[in-house]
Structure 1
Amino acid sequence: MEPRIHDILPNLVEHLLDVVVVVNAAGKIAYANAACEAVFGYSPAELVGNEMIGHVVPEDRPRTLEEARRVMAGLHCVGFENRYIHKDGRYVHVMWSARWLPDHQLRIGVARDVTRIRHAEQIQAMTYAISEAVHDAGNLAELLQKIHDILARLMPLSGLAAAACGPVGGHYEVVYQAGMALDPAAPQADEHCHAMELTTLSGPVGLLVLRRVPGVVQDEKERDFLRFMTAQLATAMERMRLKAQTRHFALHDDLTGLPNRRLLKELLAEALHGCRRRQQRLALVFVDVDGFKQINDSLGHAAGDCFLQEFARRLRHNRRQTDTVARLGGDEFLLLLPDIQTAEHAHAVVTGIHATLAAPLQLEGRSVAMRASTGIAVFPEDGTDADVLLQHADKAMYAHKTARRERERKHDEQA
């Protein structure tokens, strides 16, 4: 006599590879088949009596509860996907078919583990996203923010930080940190942090540190993706560094490190735009070294270079954080003073410059005087555009130089 199908059904369910779970009206697990252990890591005995929602990834719980309400209202669920926390901490992607049995006040669900499929799709999408971010990002901070967002969709992160190599080998400068503070000298802050060196064929370019949510493990595919991502990030960081260096060299004076004429024009245009919008003043101070040709002729060009470097250092000494000191070329310098209250402020700056230059400089065993002629132009009184202001400051400087020479000539005649 053949056994009736109803007699062997429980035994068949226990041999299914798919998960079968029965949940009561209170949301607690009343039955779980043997496949649950393979998918979730918990034996049926460990699951029965627990709330089903407690095993769902927190971010997926609201929509899971909503789907459960729909099923209990009589709607048949087919193809609903959510994620569960495996016993070892990793996330499991599950696709459900479920229905409500009103006569028994039970919800029966049959699920299939689709983690590998979804993970492969996700990593492929993340790989494209990383490549796109590297291509489109305008600067390093923007790129790291995009990478943080991408990684957070792939793995549970509580923080991410990055540092870039400085000009001296082995020195790191923090360029991004969110959810954690990074000490480049000791990046492995705790057991949940994963520090990865960013390297190219040219050598190390930076450091990336991830802090994972405790209890969540990393699989091999995620590790492969991280290796791909760090290689992409390292290449991008090196490219951005080279681009920044090229821009720096193009916009700064080689000898003094000050902004050059080209960068000054950019900064002046920006400052004028801000002053017009906020109805504020700014000042330009033209500074020309007196007697520089004699220094070059008597002591040589190397000593002349040292003189200009010290001259630039003293000019920087008196500036505010918002002021700019630029070298226009040769022995000509210019100070951009944004947001001044009155013209007297610019004159006070000039007084400070002459005081700073008062102490002579020791060059080649000789005491060399540091003197300069200065000219001031104030926006908007002396002009409303860059060229007019520069011309006014230049003329004022030459007037100062001429007046000084005349005073010196009269002094010599009287002597």
Structure 2
Amino acid sequence: MAPAPVDVRVARGEDGTIRIAPGSAAGPDFARAVLDVAGAVLAWSVLGDPGPPVAEVHDVGRAQQWLWAVYGERVAAAVHDCASGAPDAVRVRADPTALAGAAARLGLGHWAARWWPASHTDGIPALEPDVLGLELAALTHGCQQLFDDVGDQPDDCVPELIEDHRAALEPLIRWWRAAPQPADTARHLERVLRLIDGAADAAGLDGPHLRHLRAALDDDGPAGTPVDPGALFARPGGYALAAGGPLATGGRVIARGSGTNDWRRCPPGLVDASETAVTWTARALGARRRIDVEAVAHLAAPAAGAHLVAEVRVDDGRPHRVPLARRDDLWTGHADLDLPATAMPSRIEVGVLLPGFDPGPGPGPDAGRGPGPDARTSGRADRDAVRALVRRRLATAAEPHASDAGLFLAEIAAAATDEDY
């Protein structure tokens, strides 16, 4: 059954930006899929109904090339009229379109690349970045009407995606040629590979990986031997959590707890996404008071080069930053606490972040003040909702005909992993 038309509100803001709002894409960053397109930014809530996007149009002339194809002619005309001085707000009906569906899928793919909550602790496998990157290249090529050649759209990067993730081409070809496998998965793989071939040809890319792809697409020979997608993209050496143990010997434990793991404060691939990934222990060493911090590392975390820190706040004092170093599969660090030798604080708050990347704590009573119980509680419900969404998608990916459910190839491969999650 085709989606029904949706009423949207087209309104001009004080700064001249025109907003198209079928609903709301409000919520924390990690629950929104965002796509930079010609003259606008599109956004969807990944936790809500995948309908038309919310659009913030800052250049109506550029946006007119795709507005009608995403929302229908009535919305495109309303945006034009609004920009020309018509009433500041009007309600109009948007028609469901194929490009709107393709754009939503592309936005969700970028969301997965940025916010997928991979966690050994929570049992959520990571997505293979090269597989996801190539499918994003294919989807972007299929959505070229959304983009132009101005060069200010970071999500229009097909050649870069193909070059950066070409290592997955060979295993994707093997997966496509494998037999037996569900027919819908084979069609999904072929569609992605043909779009990559077309995108590479349009961009003038060449090389042994792409020549092999073209030869495979032209070959009508028999299918290959069976393959296990999980094993095909398995990471060498696997991943096993280190035995924790104390960071240093000696001292008396006077307090311990879990810290805040706000996903917004460091880039993906550094810290395990679990709520319990960050822990701390306060120790008494004679008159000194010291805090030891541990954070479970993401399986892709670099052994060197990243300068993560823990932000520690005692009661209402100023935050103190503790450098963290990678030790096995943990980020670890310690620092002295400024505490009276005979008293314990009523609250110790710990969060992890990457300086220079950190946008600050998320919205809530503690915004701008540092990690705290109120901010942790307000973000936890949203993070749990994202985890529930991901678990549902992985459960579907493990079933036959997963490709018919709109899943990404990287999700199907992740659901087939034999790693100990």
With normalisation by structure 1, the TM-score equals: 0.22
Q: Which has the higher contact order (CA 8 A, sep 6+)?
A: 2
- Structure whose alpha-carbon radius of gyration is higher: 1
With normalisation by structure 2, the TM-score equals: 0.22
Q: In proportion to residue count, which structure has more strand?
A: 1
